């Protein structure tokens, strides 16, 4: 099969098209003929040597795919209600930048009715992450206020739409007025340009001094101190990336007085059973929103995966430019 591998750690150009042996599905797994692969920030970190591959996972990058089931564990397929030829999208621990990809059956979901494979490939990584962190860990409830740091990212556009569809008020930060406007068009109630405004002060004003109930944070670093200042009593801060650095200096007294929860997670190393439970929740609570049009795909760019330089290299260069709004997808 054709695949894109990281030939050495470095710039996007290290992503090269290669031939690899076809993978084989094992117990509890299925094999997908990949039509499209989503590109995510962890892929960039892996390419640079900053995101180790979990034990047993493919060394190829790629954490989400969509395509057609070509083989698999018959019992597991039957239990999940899948059959050969069905179109699915899947969350995987690696190996997505390839024409064929093995996925745990429990981590697969049907391509939503009316969605293309490219659109479906943009779903798993961000939807699993947002559901697990905003709704499971962060316990966001109808009527509460969510602050999303980085509203125009793949994670951000997903969190905006699901939170709004489930009855929350959404405030986002973004790095330009254009990105702020794009977030509002997706349903965000308020958008703060973090380059020209202090997000903590703005969030307090927008909530009448009460503060926000849940924050989805991809920055960490010195953001944490300001986030704690603009959180409501019993607020929950959920950290899912550390783009601003791993060290934070904050007022612990505010954590006590406001009874705040500071938590975080990474999804990739979690066991199949954990991810399978998220898949079930998504199928029940979020897939109907996709099929009704309440939540829409937001794809900025699509690249043919191969070529020289590879489409994957071009996709990574775009991601690192931070000029995109929504998702970047590779096609096969």
Give the tens place of pLDDT for each residue, 18-41.
999 999 999 999 999 999 999 999
- Are the C-beta atoms of residues 137 and 265 closer than 8 Å to each other? yes
Cis before residue 157, ω within 30 degrees of 0? no
Supply 266's token pair. Answer: 């990474």
User: Taking all residues of the chain, what is their mean pLDDT, rounded to a whole number?
Assistant: 97
What digits encode the pLDDT tens for the residues 196-212? Answer: 999 999 999 999 999 99
Q: How large is the average pLDDT for residues 65-84? A: 98
Q: Could you give the CA distance from residue 304 to residue 73 in angstroms, rounded to a whole number?
A: 30
Q: Could you give the CA distance from residue 98 to residue 201 in angstroms, rounded to a whole number?
A: 46
Supply 329's token pair. Answer: 């997808």
Q: How large is the average pLDDT for residues 147-165? A: 97
Q: Could you give the CA distance from residue 153 to residue 167 in angstroms, rounded to a whole number?
A: 21
What digits encode the pLDDT tens for the residues 55-68? Answer: 999 999 999 999 99
Q: How large is the average pLDDT for residues 42-62? A: 95
Determine the 3-state secondary structure of 146 from DSSP: strand
pLDDT score for 268: 87
Q: Could you give the CA distance from residue 116 to residue 67 in angstroms, rounded to a whole number?
A: 10
Assess whether pLDDT exceeds 90 at residue 119.
yes
Helices (H), 132-198: 154-165, 177-185
Unique residue bearing structure tokens 């969605």: 115
Domains observed in the chain = 2-123+268-331 (3.90.180.10), 127-264 (3.40.50.720)
Determine the 3-state secondary structure of 135 from DSSP: helix
Query: Would the pTM of this model clear 0.85, i.e. be above it?
Result: yes
- Are the C-beta atoms of residues 43 and 89 closer than 8 Å to each other? no
Phi-psi region for residue 162, left (φ > 0), alpha (ψ -120 to 50) or beta? Answer: alpha
Q: How large is the average pLDDT for residues 87-103? A: 98
What digits encode the pLDDT tens for the residues 293-307? Answer: 999 999 999 999 999
pLDDT score for 251: 98
What digits encode the pLDDT tens for the residues 263-293? Answer: 999 998 899 999 999 999 999 999 999 999 9
Query: Which residues, in sequence order, are CB contacts of 313 under 8 Å at separation 6+?
Result: 12, 13, 14, 15
Supply 316's token pair. Answer: 């990574």
CB neighbourhood size of 139 (10 A):
14
Supply 251's token pair. Answer: 């007022």
């Amino acid at each position: 099969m054709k695949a894109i591998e990281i030939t050495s750690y470095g710039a996007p150009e290290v992503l090269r098209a290669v031939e690899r042996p076809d993978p084989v599905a094992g117990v509890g797994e299925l094999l997908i003929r990949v039509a499209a692969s989503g590109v995510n920030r962890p892929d960039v970190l892996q390419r640079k040597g900053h995101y180790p591959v979990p034990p047993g996972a493919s060394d190829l990058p790629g954490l989400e795919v969509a395509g057609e089931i070509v083989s698999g564990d018959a019992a597991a397929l039957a239990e999940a209600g899948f059959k050969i030829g069905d179109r699915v999208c899947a969350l995987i621990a690696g190996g997505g930048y390839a024409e064929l990809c093995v996925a745990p059956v429990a981590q697969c979901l049907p391509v939503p009715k009316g969605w293309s494979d490219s659109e479906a490939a943009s779903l798993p990584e961000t939807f699993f992450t947002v559901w697990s962190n905003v709704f499971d860990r962060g316990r966001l409830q109808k009527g509460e206020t969510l602050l999303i740091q980085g509203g125009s990212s793949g994670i951000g556009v997903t969190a905006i739409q699901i939170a709004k569809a489930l009855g929350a008020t959404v405030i986002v930060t973004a790095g330009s007025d254009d990105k702020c406007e794009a977030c509002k068009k997706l349903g965000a109630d308020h958008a703060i340009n973090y380059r020209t405004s202090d997000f903590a002060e703005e969030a307090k004003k927008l909530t009448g001094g009460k503060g926000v109930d849940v924050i989805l944070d991809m920055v960490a670093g010195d953001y944490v101190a300001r986030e704690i200042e603009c959180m409501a009593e019993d607020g929950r801060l959920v950290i899912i990336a550390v783009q601003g650095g791993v060290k934070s200096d904050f007022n612990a007294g505010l954590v006590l007085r406001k009874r705040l929860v500071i938590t975080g997670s990474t999804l990739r190393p979690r066991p199949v059973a954990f991810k399978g439970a998220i898949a079930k929740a998504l199928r029940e609570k979020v897939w109907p929103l996709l099929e009704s049009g309440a939540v829409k795909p937001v794809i900025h760019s699509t690249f043919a995966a191969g070529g020289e330089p590879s489409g994957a290299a071009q996709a990574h260069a775009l991601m690192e430019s931070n000029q995109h709004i929504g998702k970047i997808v590779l096609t096969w």
